[in-house]
């Protein structure tokens, strides 16, 4: 048993942190929030140049053949620097979907472009407020897709989308759509985090291509993996929010001393830290289950998701509180984290969805029958 | 990152399992409820002693102790593996936790050769049971405020005072006792540690009944207890340093002990499948499912946090402040789970008068949990430790650190 990172993995983290720190600063995040130009293409290009976008792809497709744990490290560092890049949809969902359910032709035509940063594949799973494959109403008949998908993160910036839709036998599958094709209408939405652009996509008889290995079980596995990796992005951002709040509490003086010396503040910060570390422990187990193909992945993903959601909401809300009046202003940093936290919640569904999955999984266990 | 056993760990686990299979009976759910660390009667103490002697003889006692002291030189992760395996069997409570986990390692570092010879082998085999005479009526969280006095008298020391919340003192043969030897210096500087014999008539032990109804801790009255200077553990006035070694090992023992102590969140799922709410099985109720899912996520998180601590210990890092996270979160989780179990099991009859096993079980769980939030450093103390030692926030204002104890 070894519940830590290897030296190589620590090196990957340091290299990434340095590189991302040079490009994706909080000043950049503020600028994008103000301008509404969400996608930080400069940081995405830098990740491509560093070979990071191909991290978990096989070498035959232009990647470096690493695994889920390294991808988790990337997700955490992206979260920590609040980079406005589509790490979750493209690297944590579309790439694994192509690898596990796509054809070799699909992989050969798309993965190299992703690694180079040219191809952006959005995930069009959600519709009507639901994410579960069994609630999908978009339909494909004779290779043509019709339906409405929303919210689709980076939908307007993407070149392609993987769309959940039912086939002619009413089975939910994943389809690859070229978003420049006819019959595709993309319109930008106004998300709570404008540094994470979000769109609605309407497909009207649009040409699509099946990912033959996709079925409801495969979609659920994809969601589980995404939940684990998103938890790392959430932990990254929560950790950064805690770090800047802790620094503020050490600098800001009231009643003749730094406010971090008062237990009302110190103990709140301790609670924030404890929630993040609890979430981190669950995310670790999830990353291991994902990387090793362990059968406990569904419940590991659910607990990672639940504790990450809990940590992010608590930490980002209390970060504003502990900053006092300045924390309530547009110009200050805390609301950046609060917004990103809600966006990451929306993208993979709120706690209720994952609680239900967890209890369903556990209640099937033999001991629950007694 | 690898959650499965390494080949060496798998071998260790198999060996442990073989020995346990040959020497103990697997739990089948019919066992009487018992505490993990505290005996409730003389019979449990006797069974615990017998079990410990057999473990010691076969080389399964004091796993993480160095071989030179009769241990196995096992890694913290091997200790966790042993605990997991032993936990599957119906074995008596581990009343030796303080002796082996706290006192032994403290004696190894601060003891004289003759103290090591006198203490370590008998702690290992279970012949001696140790208790920790630290807290006092006026010194709990502020342990350095102890008032029990030890005065020099020729070659001896004479100790008088009162200790409290001393777990297992009523069946312990020995105690590690922190006393004030010099009140004329600031509080942390004037203490000395002693090893005492609990059967001395100068020591009187009175069990204290807890809110759960049980009585596992005690108040201990010490009235002119005379001990030789050879009973002093560590230097005169160096008691605080010695106590910190004990407390560090206490954190370690809690970390490698059952990460979650008490009920499993999964038991609530089984309970919710048995009882009804709004005319249908409670497990189908949205609020019930949401609460239990939250408990599962928190309990798993605590378990995996303890594995992270084990990993860093196995890499050679000292037991650090990470232990405070588990300590902080465990008690409150147990309390909330106990309350929810009691609510699920408890019709009005279940709450006011125990109607069935479920209600009794969860009532006991709920009434035991508050102790977890207080013992071994309260939630409030853990938050201060996290805030100051991990987050680096400014320390509490102190008015007592530089003033002689006698002037406080």
A41 and A129 in a common domain: no
A170 and A209 in a common domain: yes
A206 and A170 in a common domain: yes
A47 inside domain: yes
B73 and B184 in a common domain: no
Mean pLDDT of chain B: 91
A59 and A142 in a common domain: no
Model pLDDT for residues A150-183, shown as the tens digit of each residue: 999 999 999 999 999 999 999 999 999 999 999 9
Instruction: For residue B307, give the CATH number of its domain.
Output: 1.20.140.10
Shortest CA distance from B305: residue in chain A: A281
Instruction: For residue A148, give the CATH number of its domain.
Output: 2.40.110.10
B266 contacts on A by Cβ (under 8 Å) = 362, 365, 367-368
Give me the residues of chain A with pLDDT under 50, please. Answer: 366-370
Q: Which of B269, B297, B383 sits opposite A282 (nearest CB)?
A: B297
More confident of the two residues B396 and A45? A45
Instruction: For residue B61, give the CATH number of its domain.
Output: 1.10.540
B266 inside domain: yes
B183 and B146 in a common domain: yes
Q: Which residues, listed in sequence order, are joined to residue A162 by a DSSP beta bridge? A: A123, A176
pLDDT at B346 over 90: no
Provide the chain A residues 324-353 that lie in CB contact (below 8 A) with chain B: 351-352
Q: What integer is the mean pLDDT of B34-63?
A: 92
pLDDT at B364 over 80: yes
Note the pLDDT of residue B1: 83
Q: Which two tokens stand for residue B405?
A: 């104890």
A351 and A229 in a common domain: yes
Is A358–B296 a contact, with Cβ atoms under 8 angstroms apart?
yes
B224 and B165 in a common domain: yes
B181 inside domain: yes
Is B308–A288 a contact, with Cβ atoms under 8 angstroms apart?
no
B89 inside domain: yes
Q: Does A367 touch chain B (CB under 8 A)?
A: yes
Closest CA to A100 of A192, A194, A240, A223: A223
Q: Does A136 touch chain B (CB under 8 A)?
A: no
Is A1–B80 a contact, with Cβ atoms under 8 angstroms apart?
yes
A250 inside domain: yes
- Of B212, B244, B276, at which residue does a domain stop? B244
B276 and B314 in a common domain: yes
A334 inside domain: yes
Q: Which two tokens stand for residue B104?
A: 């032994």
B235 and B288 in a common domain: no
Instruction: For residue A311, give the CATH number of its domain.
Output: 1.20.140.10
Q: What integer is the mean pLDDT of B217-243?
A: 98
A199 and A237 in a common domain: no
Contact B388, A266 (CB under 8 A): yes
Instruction: Please state, in angstroms and rounded to a whole number, the distance separating the CA atoms of residues A16 and A90.
Output: 18
The secondary structure of residue B199, as a DSSP letter, is T
B312 contacts on A by Cβ (under 8 Å) = 4
More confident of the two residues B295 and B375? B295
B314 and B215 in a common domain: no
Q: Does A368 touch chain B (CB under 8 A)?
A: yes
Distance from CA of B306 to the nearest CA of A (A): 9
More confident of the two residues B348 and A125? A125
Is B322–A277 a contact, with Cβ atoms under 8 angstroms apart?
yes
B170 and B61 in a common domain: no
Distance from CA of A307 to the nearest CA of B (A): 6
Please name the helix (run of DSSP H) or strand (run of DSSP E) that holds residue A349, with its range, or none: none
A138 and A90 in a common domain: no
Range of the domain at A42: 7-116
Please name the helix (run of DSSP H) or strand (run of DSSP E) that holds residue B129, with its range, or none: none
Is A355–B302 a contact, with Cβ atoms under 8 angstroms apart?
no
B357, exposed or middle or buried, with CB in 10 Å at 0-12, 13-18, 19+? exposed
Distance from CA of A294 to the nearest CA of B (A): 10
A242 and A129 in a common domain: no
- DSSP codes joined into one string, B81-124: HHHHHHTTB-----TTIIIIIIIHHHHHHH--HHHHHHHHHHHH
A228 contacts on B by Cβ (under 8 Å) = none
Q: Does A319 touch chain B (CB under 8 A)?
A: no
Sign of CA dihedral A124, A128, A133, A139: negative
- Of A64, A87, A116, at which residue does a domain stop? A116
Instruction: For residue B189, give the CATH number of its domain.
Output: 2.40.110.10
Helix axes A334-348, A297-323, angle to 10 degrees: 160
- DSSP codes joined into one string, B336-402: HHHHHHHHHH--HHHHHS--SHHHHHHHHHHHHHHHHHHTTS-HHHHHHHIIIIIS-PPPPP-SSSS
Closest CA to B80 of B12, B7, B1: B12
A127 and A110 in a common domain: no
Closest CA to A366 of B25, B265, B262, B266: B266
Is B2–A250 a contact, with Cβ atoms under 8 angstroms apart?
no
| Residue B316 burial (CB count, 10 A) | 6
A111 inside domain: yes
ipTM topping 0.85: yes
Closest CA to B337 of B313, B300, B366, B301: B366
Is A270–B300 a contact, with Cβ atoms under 8 angstroms apart?
no
Q: Which residues, listed in sequence order, are joined to residue A223 by a DSSP beta bridge? A: none
pLDDT at B259 over 70: no
Q: What integer is the mean pLDDT of B67-83?
A: 91
Q: Does A314 touch chain B (CB under 8 A)?
A: no
Shortest CA distance from B398: residue in chain A: A261
A2 inside domain: no
Question: How would residue B19 be classed by pLDDT, with cut points 50, 70 and 90?
Answer: very high
B117 inside domain: no
Note the pLDDT of residue B260: 42
- Of A166, A193, A213, at which residue does a domain stop? A213
B267 and B236 in a common domain: no
Contact A216, A172 (CB under 8 A): yes
A80 inside domain: yes
Instruction: Report how many domains make up chain A.
Output: 3
Is B136 assigned a catalytic role?
no
A64 inside domain: yes
B270 and B380 in a common domain: yes
Q: What integer is the mean pLDDT of B8-30?
A: 93
Note the pLDDT of residue A134: 83
Is B384–A250 a contact, with Cβ atoms under 8 angstroms apart?
no
Note the pLDDT of residue B2: 86
B163 inside domain: yes
- Of A164, A192, A213, at which residue does a domain stop? A213
A1 inside domain: no
Note the pLDDT of residue B278: 83
Q: What integer is the mean pLDDT of B388-398?
A: 93
Q: List Cα–Cα distances, A59 to A47, A62, A115, B85, in angstroms.
A: 17, 5, 11, 42
Note the pLDDT of residue B349: 44
Q: Which of B1, B6, B396 sits opposite A287 (nearest CB)?
A: B1
Note the pLDDT of residue A321: 98
Q: Which of B85, B86, B250, B322 is catalytic?
A: B250
B226 and B326 in a common domain: no
**Which of the residues B11, B383, B393 would you substitute to probe the A interface, choosing the one with the greatest number of A C-beta atoms within 10 Å?**
B393
Q: Which of B292, B329, B384 sits opposite A266 (nearest CB)?
A: B384
A267 and A200 in a common domain: no
Instruction: Report how many domains make up chain B.
Output: 3
Instruction: For residue A26, give the CATH number of its domain.
Output: 1.10.540.10
Range of the domain at B146: 130-244
A277 and A250 in a common domain: yes
A133 and A77 in a common domain: no
Is A260–B394 a contact, with Cβ atoms under 8 angstroms apart?
yes
B321 and B210 in a common domain: no
Is A270–B310 a contact, with Cβ atoms under 8 angstroms apart?
no
B273 contacts on A by Cβ (under 8 Å) = 363, 368-369
Is B1–A277 a contact, with Cβ atoms under 8 angstroms apart?
no
B147 and B238 in a common domain: yes
Query: What is the three-class DSSP state of A110?
Result: helix
């Amino acid at each position: 048993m070894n519940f830590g990172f290897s030296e190589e993995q620590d090196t990957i983290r340091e290299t990434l942190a340095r590189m991302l720190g040079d490009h994706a600063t909080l000043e950049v995040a503020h600028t994008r929030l103000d301008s509404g130009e969400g996608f930080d293409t400069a940081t995405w290009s830098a990740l491509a140049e560093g070979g990071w976008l191909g991290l978990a792809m096989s070498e035959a497709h232009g990647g470096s053949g690493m695994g889920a744990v390294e991808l988790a490290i990337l997700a955490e560092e992206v979260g920590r620097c609040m980079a406005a890049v589509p790490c979750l949809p493209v690297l944590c969902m579309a790439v694994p979907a192509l690898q596990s359910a796509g054809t070799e032709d699909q992989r050969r035509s798309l993965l190299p472009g992703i690694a180079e940063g040219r191809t952006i594949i959005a995930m069009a799973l959600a519709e009507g407020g639901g994410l579960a494959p069994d609630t999908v109403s978009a339909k494909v008949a004779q290779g043509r897709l019709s339906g409405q998908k929303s919210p689709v993160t980076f939908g307007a910036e993407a070149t392609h989308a993987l769309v959940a839709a039912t086939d002619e036998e009413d089975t939910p599958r994943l389809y690859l759509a070229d978003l420049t094709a006819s019959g595709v209408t993309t319109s930008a939405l106004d998300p709570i985090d404008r540094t994470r652009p979000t769109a609605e996509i309407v497909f009207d008889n649009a040409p699509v291509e099946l990912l033959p290995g996709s079925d409801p079980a495969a979609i659920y596995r994809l969601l589980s993996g995404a939940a684990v990796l998103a938890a790392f992005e959430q932990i990254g951002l929560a950790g950064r929010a805690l770090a800047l709040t802790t620094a503020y509490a050490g600098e800001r003086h009231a009643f003749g001393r730094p406010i971090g010396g008062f237990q009302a503040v110190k103990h709140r910060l301790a609670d924030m830290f404890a929630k993040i570390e609890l979430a981190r422990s669950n995310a670790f187990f999830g990353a291991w289950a994902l990387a090793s193909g362990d059968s406990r992945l569904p419940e590991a993903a659910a607990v990672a998701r639940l504790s990450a959601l809990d940590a992010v909401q608590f930490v980002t809300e209390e970060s504003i509180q502990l900053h006092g009046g300045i924390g309530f202003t547009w110009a200050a940093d805390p609301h950046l984290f609060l917004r990103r936290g809600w966006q990451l919640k929306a993208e993979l569904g709120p706690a209720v969805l994952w609680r239900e999955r967890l209890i369903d999984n556990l209640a099937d266990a033999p001991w629950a029958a007694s | 990152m690898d959650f499965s056993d390494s080949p060496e760990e798998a071998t260790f686990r198999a060996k442990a399992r073989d020995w346990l299979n040959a020497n103990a009976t697997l739990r089948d759910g019919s066992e009487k409820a018992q505490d993990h660390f505290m005996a409730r009667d003389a019979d449990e103490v006797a069974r615990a002693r017998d079990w410990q002697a057999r473990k010691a003889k076969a080389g399964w006692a004091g796993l993480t102790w160095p071989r030179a002291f009769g241990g196995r030189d096992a890694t913290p992760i091997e200790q966790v593996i042993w605990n997991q395996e032993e936990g599957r069997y119906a074995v008596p409570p581990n009343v030796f936790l303080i002796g082996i986990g706290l006192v032994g390692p403290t004696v190894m570092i601060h003891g004289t050769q003759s103290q090591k010879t006198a203490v370590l082998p008998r702690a290992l085999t279970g012949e001696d049971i140790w208790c920790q005479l630290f807290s006092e009526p006026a010194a709990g969280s502020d342990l350095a405020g102890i008032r029990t006095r030890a005065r020099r008298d020729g070659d001896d020391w004479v100790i008088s005072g009162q200790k409290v919340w001393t777990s297992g003192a009523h069946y312990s043969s020995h105690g590690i006792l922190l006393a004030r030897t010099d009140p004329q210096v600031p509080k942390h500087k004037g203490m000395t540690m002693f090893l005492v014999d609990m059967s001395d008539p100068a020591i009187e032990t009175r069990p204290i009944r807890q809110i759960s109804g049980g009585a596992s801790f005690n108040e201990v009255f010490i009235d002119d207890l005379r001990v030789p200077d050879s009973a002093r553990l560590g230097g005169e006035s160096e008691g605080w340093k010695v106590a910190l070694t004990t407390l560090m090992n206490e954190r370690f023992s809690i970390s490698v002990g059952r990460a979650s102590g008490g009920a499993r969140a999964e038991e609530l799922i089984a309970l919710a499948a048995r009882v009804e709410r709004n005319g249908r099985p409670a497990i189908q109720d949205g609020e019930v499912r949401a609460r239990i899912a939250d408990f599962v996520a928190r309990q798993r998180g605590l378990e995996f946090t303890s594995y992270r601590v084990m990993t860093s210990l196995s890499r050679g890092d000292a037991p650090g402040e990470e232990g405070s996270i588990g300590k902080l979160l465990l008690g409150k989780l147990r309390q909330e789970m106990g309350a929810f179990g009691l609510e699920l099991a408890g019709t009005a009859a279940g709450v006011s008068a125990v109607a069935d096993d479920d209600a009794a079980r969860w009532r006991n769980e709920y009434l035991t949990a508050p102790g977890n939030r207080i013992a071994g450093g309260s939630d409030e103390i853990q938050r201060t430790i996290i805030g100051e030692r991990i987050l680096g926030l400014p320390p509490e204002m102190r008015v007592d650190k530089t003033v002689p104890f006698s002037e406080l």
